[in-house]
Amino acid sequence: MGELSSQTVFISMNVLTDQDVQKYRDEGYLVLEGLLSPEECDALRERMSEIIEQMDVPEHCRIQFSTDHDEQLKKQGSADYFITSGDQIRFFFEKGVFDDKGEFIVPKEHSLNKIGHALHAYEPLFKAVTHSPKVQNLVKKLGLIYPVILQSMYIFKQPGIGGEVTPHQDATFLHTQPLGRVMGVWIALEDATLENGCLWFIPGSHHDGITRRMVRTPKGTFPLTDFIGREKTHDDKLFVPAPVKKGGAVLIHGEVVHRSAANTSDASRHVYTFHIMESQNTVWSPENWLQPTEELPFPSLYT
């Protein structure tokens, strides 16, 4: 199953310089090369192939994932399968991969948009990467005292059908008081290029606050989530691409505006990503779709 195991000893290293830290604070994101080795990336991909092979998806769970405002409400936020996935490993699909009877019309390994949201808790290989000394050291360099892990995802960006992710801010979905306490760690398990849908950012946009929030609706109402506010219209010329090679990572401030284009190439763009929150003097919004549970409180990154 590859060369990585849950007992793998990661080389402890400081991957961030003072200049890197300042760049992250100024621009709201930072590209790092070589966070994982090619062998570590291959082991995660191999394990994911095993998970997909064993996947048994109930008919009612064959929902499609989208970050478009209206489609989110209809197909994602309104689905109990999604809103209760914070402490589970569940499957979310690309558009157009099922026929009208709910059967796959593409190979199932090519059907998935993502798997989430608790790989970091229940899958030993992903847990080992998430808690690795390399990750811990870069987070410490950024000054986080009591970081906890909110969620994790494996994102596929399938060749030819990997959908566009429209401009958004992670704090729309993962809201805290005060703002500025959430960071994404986005690890490329394959090269992320202009052709297969790398990330694009508006540098410095994390200084402008947020204009939209996804919130839980009161119990007993439908849909299960709703949006407050709307995403601003962003000038396309302000976006800067952030390609990264296999094993590299992108640190993403919770309020920086980012997007990715559809994958129209013949190469996939597999990613393992997770979100961290500084929990010291931070209030996690009870209105967020994602909530800690008795089965899975938000675990400390440093343990």
Q: Specify if 250 maps to a domain.
A: yes
Q: Specify if 290 maps to a domain.
A: no
| CA-based nearest residue to 267, from 185, 187, 173, 188 | 188
Identity of the residue numbered 121: A
The partner residues of 200 in beta bridges, in order of sequence, read: 241, 259
Q: Is residue 67 pLDDT above 70, yes or no?
A: no
Count of structural domains within the chain? 1
Domain of 228, CATH number, reads: 2.60.120.620
Residue with tokens 């979310």: 92
- HEC string of 253-282 equals ECCCCEEECCCCCCCCCCEEEEEEEECCCC
Q: What percent of the chain has pLDDT over 90?
A: 74
Q: Specify if 6 maps to a domain.
A: no
Within a 10 A sphere around the Cβ of 76, how many other Cβ atoms? 23
Please, is 14 exposed, middle or buried when counting C-beta atoms within 10 Å of its C-beta (0-12, 13-18, 19+)? exposed
Q: Is residue 14 pLDDT above 50, yes or no?
A: no
Q: Where residue 70 falls among pLDDT bands split at 50, 70, 90?
A: low
Residue of 156 and 73 predicted with greater confidence? 156
Q: Where residue 15 falls among pLDDT bands split at 50, 70, 90?
A: low
Q: Specify if 240 maps to a domain.
A: yes
* CA 134 from centre of chain: 19
Residues 136-152: what's their mean pLDDT?
97
Domain that holds residue 175: 18-284
Alpha carbon distance 199, 183 (integer Å): 15
Residues 90-106: what's their mean pLDDT?
83
Residue 212 per-residue DSSP state = E
Alpha carbon distance 35, 244 (integer Å): 11
Contacts 24+ apart (CB under 8 A), 69-77: 69/227, 69/230, 69/231, 72/214, 72/225, 72/227, 73/223, 73/225, 73/226, 73/227, 74/223, 77/214, 77/223, 77/224, 77/225, 77/226, 77/289
Q: Where residue 71 falls among pLDDT bands split at 50, 70, 90?
A: low
Q: Where residue 149 falls among pLDDT bands split at 50, 70, 90?
A: very high
Alpha carbon distance 256, 236 (integer Å): 15
Residues 58-78: what's their mean pLDDT?
57
Note the pTM of the prediction, 2 decimals: 0.89
Q: Where residue 60 falls among pLDDT bands split at 50, 70, 90?
A: low
Q: Specify if 7 maps to a domain.
A: no
Answer yes or no: are the C-beta atoms of 129 and 272 closer than 8 Å.
yes
- Mean pLDDT for all residues in the chain: 89
Give the model confidence (pLDDT) of 226-274 as tens digits: 999 998 999 999 999 999 999 999 999 999 999 999 999 999 999 999 9
Give the model confidence (pLDDT) of 155-168 as tens digits: 999 998 888 899 99
Q: Specify if 41 maps to a domain.
A: yes
Residue of 221 and 275 predicted with greater confidence? 275
Q: Specify if 160 maps to a domain.
A: yes
Q: Specify if 13 maps to a domain.
A: no
Alpha carbon distance 207, 235 (integer Å): 16
